[in-house]
Structure 1
Amino acid sequence: MKFSDLLKIIWNNMWKRRTRTIFTMTGVIIGCLAVFIISSITNGFEKYLTTEMERLMDTSVITIYPNWNAQEDTSKKNKKEEDSSKTVLNEKNIKELEKIDFITEIIPMRYAYAPITVNKTESYGRFLAKDNFEPKDGKLLYGRYPRKKSREIILGYELAKELLGYTWETKLEDDSVLEELVGKKIRVGGEQIGEDEKSNMITTKKFSCKIVGISSKTSGFDQNVIETSSKFVDDIIKSNPNNEGDALNKMLNNYESIQVRVDDKSKIGEYEAYIKELGYETSSYKEFENQTNSMIKTISLVLGSLAGISLLVAALGITNTMDMAIYERNKEIGIIKVIGGSLNDVRKIFVGEACAIAVTGGIISIVLGIIIDIIINNVAGTITKSMFGVPITT
């Protein structure tokens, strides 16, 4: 039998019983569309999360912490052993990190905590000590950088919103409303921390400082941090009467964490492993990315399995249709044999019909999938942009 004759017979037989063919093909289309749409949605969320991580986090930064596990046994160690176990972060650690080739920048993180008040609006501030304000730190929405050893501050974007009465979930249509905070005075301190022997309230010292800048909302996870000079942070720490002796010295000379910027963010996993070998605890966007990808893969596997069931049902539908066709077309099979056709020719016809239904249904589902994908991108992109500020597209 010629191949062209085979194709003609297959095509005619398919549409001779068009109702059965259409229903069988619909099962294939639904199964393929389910897989296509689920894959598109999960890919869209993965791309959205990756974009958000790059927007909210500096993907070239590794945050280094003291080795908390080693701190459990510090009481049994002498001074030299304690330093080598990386249980604290200080200038010695900075010098050690400066010798590592792939580290391009080191940012020590030291904080002070105190209540703040602006225009009768109260909040609690986390003050970050920082003296090297450079343009590459970037993302300053309004104002300028503080001068060294001054009591000038930069408010984080979310904290600035809070001081103006907005909640964190509120999306500002115009960020210019935050500019009114620049130049205002802010009261820091005055926190009640206990009572003296005469039952008089003990409070921390009060300071007055000036807001000189507002960081943008793309400045990362420090949107609630107040950046200021190291001297002002030291003053806030010293203003608390409870901070004294060794505890005060540690607060003034040790860092809560150290951020390091690396030369190649694609190798951040290798760099992080190297730093851990030195005895530090670390975190980076890579850890969050791995957790996110693992979660997405699990969801994709579950949803993909459900979509796979649709494909399995479609395959069983094709098998059932072909099985019934064989019993219904005994006369046609006999005629083919009489005119010289072989069992192999009969087999080709029925297998060809099954393949034609599957392929045609697959092609239609691809076309419909592309159309649905475009619709999802336009509709979902508009909705998610209004909700989250960033469009989620497949």
Structure 2
Amino acid sequence: MSTRDLIMMAVRNLWKRKLRTFLTILGVVIGTTSIVVMISIGIGMNESFKKQVEEWGSLQVIDVYGNNGDMFISSDSDQNKGKPKKNVALDGAAIEKFRQMEYVEAVSPIVRESMMLVCGKYVSDASFIGLDPGAMEALGYKVEEGRTLTAEDQEGIVIGRSVVSGFYNPKLSWQMQMQAEPPEINVMEDKILLTYDWSYGTQYADKSIKAIKTPVLGIMPEGGGNGYSVVMPLKQMEKIQKEKEAWRKKQGGYSSSGNQKKKGEYQQVAVKVNDLNKVQEVQQQIKDMGFQASSLTDQLETMKETTKMLRIVLGAIGAVSLIVAAIGITNTMVMAIYERTREIGIMKVIGASLRDIKLLFLTEAAFIGFAGGVLGIVTSFLMSLLVNLVATKQASEMTSSIPIWLYLSAVAFATIIGVLSGYLPAKRAMKLSALTAIKTE
């Protein structure tokens, strides 16, 4: 019996019992829809977590910190637990080692300083970040206006949008500032200065501190940590820090810079990995070198872990629905054998092989599974839209996302479930005696 004959006969047999076939397919549709929607909610939650964490910075950037000899837990052996780690310098040699590591795209020291931006009579507080200008874009800093720093830039700053909107008149009281109209400042065109004198613009300002003129090259978007930051070339930052320390010494004060422990050593280094899936691997290698390392993928994995049980429960609910549908297919095929016993006997008498009879019932079962899977993914798509609509109105993290592979897997899985459900009935049909089957009315 040809494949075409098998398919035509299977469709004809199912069509003769339309209501039963419809109800069985409906069970598969419900089961497929349940498992696809439940899995899609888990996928949607993970994607939502990823977007949320990406607002804080790049998932592919590892923050590396020097080790100060504190107690640590070794990843290699429990025997090392609680032993002090030998100090390791986060210096130029360490940075070069990071650059030579596999999957590492960019490396840059990170130096931080709190200063103020000045535009006319207005000032804005900001957290300044000094880094290798050529690595700025690779480290995940984005601009919505202007451009990022490049390797050729010796000076210049890129300002976060929240810093731009935070300018105020330091001569006014807090209440007066709240009532005053926001200043109209165009940082890309207006003259912008920066200063480490927090009394700038007031009667307590230190006249010996000169505000530094610097060009504004770009503006970073609002939101996330970068919206409140100002990025500048590392050399420019180090120059300002030297001036600040020299000023403090003249004032008889102490050194306030904690960004560099010793000359040539850094408090923090950023390492960009070119493959998101390799971040944890590179991070562990850096830890094995004796450094402290962390990345946003740690927070992402923690968030996923907190909802792991919920995703398991959702998947289990969908699986139960599909198991019920499989039982329905088995029941339908068993009933078909009882109703078509005489037909099976005739097929055997006229020369149909046991393989043909087996394939006929498996084809009918596979068709039920396939049809239910196709209709199930259509229903899943509509249900996913409904879930996302409700989630949007309620500002919920429980969104639904169905990738193409899930659609294809659902149809394939439903078809396989159909075949497996029809296997025992098909085997039963093969064992029927031809003469006994023909005599059955």
Distance 1:240 1:29 in 2: 74
Matched with 2:30 is: 30
Distance (Å, rounded) in 2 between the aligned partners of 1:337 and 1:155: 80
For the Cα contact (< 8 Å) 1:190–1:205, is it kept in 2? no
- Report 1:358-369 matches (<5 A): 358-366=369-377
* Per-residue deviation, 1:323: 5.4
Distance (whole Å) between structure 1 residues aligned to residue 302 and residue 42 of structure 2: 15
AA aligned to 2:87 is S
In 2 relative to 1, CA 25–96 (structure 1 residues): closer, same or farther, beyond 3 Å? closer
Deviations 1:6-29 (A, max 9, x none): 766654443333223212211111
Which residue does the alignment assign to 1:113?
A: 114
Matched residues in 2 for 1:349 and 1:268: separation? 52
Match of residue 97, structure 1, among 95, 106, 127: 95
2:158 counterpart residue number: 154
1:190–1:351 Cα change, 3 Å? closer
Using structure 2 for the length normalisation, give the TM-score: 0.56
* Partner Cα separation in structure 2 for residue 180 and residue 190 of structure 1: 23
Structure 2 CA distance for aligned equivalents of residues 61 and 3 of structure 1: 55
Distance 1:297 1:215 in 2: 38
CA distance in 1, matches of 2:197, 2:305: 44
The code of the aligned residue for 1:110 comes to V
What pairs up with 1:137-152 in 2 under 5 angstroms?
A: 137=137, 139=142, 141-142=145-146
- Partners of 2:108 and 2:122 lie apart in 1 by 31
Q: 1:34 to 1:286 in 2, by over 3 A?
A: same
Amino acid at match of 2:112: Y
Match of 1:231 in 2: 239
1:1-394 matched pairs, under 5 angstroms: 10-40=10-40, 42-43=42-43, 57-58=57-58, 61-67=61-67, 70-71=69-70, 84-86=86-88, 89=90, 93-99=91-97, 101-102=100-101, 106-114=107-115, 124-130=125-131, 133-134=133-134, 137=137, 139=142, 141-142=145-146, 153-163=157-167, 179=187, 182-185=190-193, 189-190=197-198, 208-210=211-213, 212-213=215-216, 214-217=218-221, 221-228=225-232, 229=236, 230-236=238-244, 244-245=253-254, 248=256, 253-254=261-262, 255-261=266-272, 267-288=278-299, 290-291=301-302, 300-322=311-333, 329=339, 333=341, 335-336=342-343, 353-366=364-377, 372=382, 394=403
- Contact kept, 8 Å, 1:31 with 1:308, in 2: the verdict is yes
Aligned length: 343
Q: Does the CA contact (< 8 Å) of 1:104 and 1:262 recur in 2? A: yes
Is the Cα contact below 8 Å between 2:108 and 2:135 reproduced in 1? Answer: no
- Aligned-partner Cα distance in 1 for 2:276–2:329: 50
C-alpha separation in 2, matches of 1:205 and 1:282 = 40
Asked whether the equivalents of residues 260 and 267 of structure 2 are also in contact (C-alpha less than 8 Å), the reply is no
Specify the code of the residue in structure 1 equivalent to 2:164: A
CA shift at 1:356, angstroms?
Answer: 3.6
CA 1:301 to 1:236, structure 2 compared with 1: closer, same or farther past 3 Å? farther
The whole-number CA distance in structure 2 between the counterparts of 1:301 and 1:125 is 44
CA distance in 1, matches of 2:329, 2:22: 11
Q: Which one has the bigger strand percentage?
A: 1
AA aligned to 1:310 is: S
Q: Which runs of 5+ in 2 are unaligned?
A: 73-83, 169-184, 404-441
Q: Which amino acid aligns with 1:217?
A: P
Change (3 A) 1:27 1:8: same
Aligned partner letter, 1:21: T
Alpha carbons of structure 1 residues 341 and 6: separation in structure 2 relative to 1, 3 Å: farther
Moved more, 256-265 or 345-354: 345-354
Q: Which runs of 5+ in 1 are unaligned?
A: 74-81, 165-176, 193-200
The Cα of 1:48 is off from its aligned counterpart by 7.0
Match of 2:172 in 1: none
Normalising by the residue count of structure 1, what TM-score does the alignment of the two structures yield?
0.61
